[in-house]
Amino acid sequence: MDRARRAAMTAAVGLLAALAAALLGSARSTAGPETPMPAPTAMARDPQQAVLEEAATDAWLYFYPLLLMQATRASEPQLELGVWKHSGSVRRHDDRKVIRPNVDTISSHAWLDLSGGPILLETPDTEGLYHVVQAVDEWSLTFATVGSRTIGNGPGRFLFVPPGLDANAGATPWPRDATLVRAPTQGVWLLMRIQSDDSEEEARTRALQTRFRLTALEERAPDGPMPLPPAAATGLAEGTPPPQVILNLDPRSYFEWASRLWGAPGFWVPNLDDALVDRVELLGLRPGSALEWDALDPGQRAALSAAPKGALRKLAGVAAKEGGVNVDGWYYLKDNWYRVQDHRVFVKQPTHYPLRAGLALEALGFLPLQEATYLSAGAARVGGEVLSGADGRSYTIRFPEGHLPAVEAFWSLTVYEGQGWLVDNPIHRHNLGSRDELRRDADGAVTLHLSATNPHGADSGDTSNWLPIPDGEFSVSFRAYWPSEPIVHEGDGWRMVPVIAAD
């Protein structure tokens, strides 16, 4: 999933900077010279115009994840629907396709179109290796995860069914031994991750990838994706990442495209309150009805044209208030989005559109915290200084006895140089964690050494507990797979130990 993952990670770097450049710098009016926008001072004095602008801002945020998903899928035109695309191997330091790559797992992904009927996912016995298959709907919301946490590492069968379909509707009976997974939309994005580390384990993982099978129950052809507007198609063809493609759209193209998708067959309309539906109707936006831009009055066009700027302001606010917290130099994502119940995943705040748009932009396809919890250190200052290996500086991460992260699968720490790439180092080690033979101190603690040179001596063959860093700025990511509840709910009896500058 090179392009899809690259797109998501590109968006994660400089979220607000990208928005400012794309929205504040180039939010274009599409009313045209024959229909001039009302003067800003007049609009500011008109309470009705303020109502329209607020509604347009909410509509822009509401539609953003939907459009991003369409562009992400369209960025891989060579990928056949219903077919897995497997990554070849765990990332190495010379792989510059994806920033801050995950070196704990090998990934795969597939796009499903359930308009042709249910699709059966068969998962193999993973021979003790942690795995998870995540299902994401057309609005970027995760609605199911299946794998080690839900069924263990044995084989499984899961039937993905489109919304509203009855078991007796098709010609082929539904398999009785399959777990039923009802998708909210006809389009589904499956993201698979399988534990992998060293070359021997990697070979096992690559063999396992081919044993995850997708089979359509019916022979009828799916409807296929709806066409993109010309500006979006051109941007993707030129190699522009999907998040930037969406941000570059002028308001007319943005809202006309969104209106064609909204309420179309197979696109789930989230449970909006009646007041919001009424508000966007004031703008000419109605579920199942294409927006007629030229039929809008000047006030409606002006409000829709101003929507990107309003969205930027709301996204900046939600990023500061609800994006995450910094504790002892580690950035925690707040547990305010998903809750899980067996394989099913539920959104806690389904109508929080600024938060939903911000998460889609910054971390499209992120897992529920109960499945994998990620923390990062380095962007924030530690002890008043950024993390850096310059001038021989080194650091330690010390877990007191009994304080190692409690997980059902495994945990790891990965170092990245200042631009987000893996660090070239003499022992070819990019991460360190529970799968390694960690040496304990005399008091039972575990101390990890982050340094550019071997902390045990330049000529020592001992590399235990050493995580190499570059001779410049760097950051550290902590990943916990199938974490315990105290890790998910930071502060509930567990907290990640800080990165400390060595004496």
Mean pLDDT by 10 residues, the chain (503 residues): 39 41 36 42 68 96 95 92 85 67 91 94 96 96 95 96 82 90 95 83 87 92 85 94 93 96 77 73 90 96 97 82 79 78 83 88 88 82 75 96 95 93 93 95 98 92 95 95 88 82 86
43 shares a domain with 139: no
3-class DSSP state for residue 389? coil
Confidence at residue 178, expressed as pLDDT on a 0 to 100 scale: 95
Does 181 reside within a domain?
yes
247 shares a domain with 172: no
493 shares a domain with 473: yes
**Structural domain of 392:** 371-501
Confidence at residue 402, expressed as pLDDT on a 0 to 100 scale: 92
Does 306 reside within a domain?
yes
- Picking from 293, 322, 351, the residue at the C-terminal end of a domain is 322
- Picking from 216, 249, 280, the residue at the C-terminal end of a domain is 216
Residues 6+ apart with CB under 8 A from 351: 270, 271, 272, 273, 276
Confidence at residue 270, expressed as pLDDT on a 0 to 100 scale: 59
Q: Distance (Å, rounded) from C-alpha 311 to C-alpha 354?
A: 8
Cα distances from 486 to residues 152, 184, 330, 371, in angstroms, run: 21, 31, 16, 13
147 shares a domain with 105: yes
- Picking from 216, 239, 272, the residue at the C-terminal end of a domain is 216
182 shares a domain with 96: yes
209 shares a domain with 94: yes
Q: Distance (Å, rounded) from C-alpha 70 to C-alpha 258?
A: 10
Does 358 reside within a domain?
no
159 shares a domain with 118: yes
Q: Distance (Å, rounded) from C-alpha 258 to C-alpha 268?
A: 13
- Which CATH number does the domain housing residue 392 bear? 2.60.120.600
Sign of the torsion angle spanned by Cα atoms 90, 94, 99, 100:
positive
Q: Say which amino acid occupies 34.
A: E
Confidence at residue 58, expressed as pLDDT on a 0 to 100 scale: 94
200 shares a domain with 93: yes
Q: Distance (Å, rounded) from C-alpha 189 to C-alpha 203?
A: 25
Does 351 reside within a domain?
no
71 shares a domain with 91: no
Confidence at residue 273, expressed as pLDDT on a 0 to 100 scale: 59
pTM of the model: 0.86
User: Structurally, how many domains does the chain consist of?
Assistant: 3
Is the Cβ–Cβ distance between 62 and 134 less than 8 Å?
no
Helix (H) or strand (E) holding 325: strand 324-327
Does 355 reside within a domain?
no
271 shares a domain with 202: no
Does 359 reside within a domain?
no
Does 333 reside within a domain?
no
DSSP 24: I
258 shares a domain with 169: no
Does 103 reside within a domain?
yes
Sign of the torsion angle spanned by Cα atoms 192, 193, 194, 196:
positive
378 shares a domain with 476: yes
Is the Cβ–Cβ distance between 343 and 371 less than 8 Å?
no
- Which CATH number does the domain housing residue 200 bear? 2.60.40.1610
Confidence at residue 420, expressed as pLDDT on a 0 to 100 scale: 87
